[in-house]
Structure 1
Amino acid sequence: MGGGKEYFPYIGEHCQYDDCNQLDFLPFTCNGCRKVFCLEHRTYRSHACPKADHSSRTVAVCDICSASIEKKANEDDKDSLSQHEKSGTCDPSKKRKPRCPVPRCKEILTFSNKSACKVCNLKVCLKHRFPSDHSCRMTKLVARTGLACKEKKESVLLSSSIKAF
């Protein structure tokens, strides 16, 4: 039964967390305890669900084929991944290739079309190689000039000689 406002009485429900009772127009139903919660209390931990252990699932991602492997209760990641590799279902050709991180760009990065930005060091496709094309966030890079290296070496030598006394 809805708990909406005057004009829309059947839209949304109130959060069933003890101290909340917030009217949420997109409520979440917990698959453990079957109660309705708002966005803030939707997770097992946030509303202290008594049946969380029975229905919670955890997975490990295979580095070889990018498959999600469901772990059993009290099982280590390494054990489940080694069992997956031995099963014969692990196929390296299914591994997801790295893609250009620019929004809406689906270009797969390979050795021939990959470029590292000189300002932020982000690996992007050739289409987005200029800082203005990938909303570059400026980060301070270490200077590689001879003068900068000499100054750094002198500062290290100075600091080590001061500590010796």
Structure 2
Amino acid sequence: MDFGTHCAVTTCKQLDFLPYTCDACHRIHCAEHRAYTDHTCPEAYTKDARVPECPICGKPVPVPRKGMDPNLAMEEHINGGCATPAATATKIFANACSFQNCKTKEAMPMRCATCRKNYCLKHRIEQDHQCSAQAGASQQRNQGSGPFRSTPAQPAASRTTPAPSAAKSNTRPQQGAMNTTGRQLAEERSLRQTNAPSNRAPASAVHANGGLSEDEALARALAESARISSSSGPTSNAPDGSNLSEEDIELQRAMQQSLAEQQRRRQQQQQQQQQQQASNSESGCCVS
């Protein structure tokens, strides 16, 4: 005498004394395969109350009749006019050009910074779409810059120009021969230094100065100017009748001191060179 019933699943066939009967397919199963998903019940959809969702339009597809296969309902929904994504998708080229008789549409908006309107690539520049805001601004500028443009009244203090004071004209330094010669020599020196900088004076400059260096020629020119100014007396060009001989003398002294310092440095350099040559000659004799 057999007790219990075997499971309907072919891979199980377990003898169960308390079997379970599926309410959808009405088959007998054991405790492990009693769920719809465990024994892959073919009639499980009749007991599933969930509404499937269309994979195309994303809308829920209700099952009209009880016990109807949801796949058939989904097929009827797709064949009966399901909205495709191409029809419901947003338009990409939605930015229409605002220029007259232009029907071009762009994917990205391009607005004019002056008139704040959208245009295509062809008419994005203000001159291309004949920007009205720019034309109005230029017209206003032209009107404001006309010959009869009204200007705010200036105060009397700003309109009056100060007269040149006699004190400033009196304090202007006298342009003597020494200043002119010194300025010319300074300009020549700066020009030669920029063109061909070197520590020694060029041969052309030495030849032009009578075999003297620039500093010696400048010192001689200063001495000659001081002698001329002291012999001629006060000049008539100065407004107060005074001359600048004291300033010239001070400048001459400064130049003489600078010249003496340079001569002293040259003598030191010559002595160092002579000592170096003597030491080199002595070392050569010892080696031989």
Q: Same fold (TM over 0.5)?
A: no
Give the greater-gyration-radius structure (CA).
Answer: 2
TM-score (norm 1): 0.29
Greater helix share, structure number: 2
**Higher relative strand content:** 1
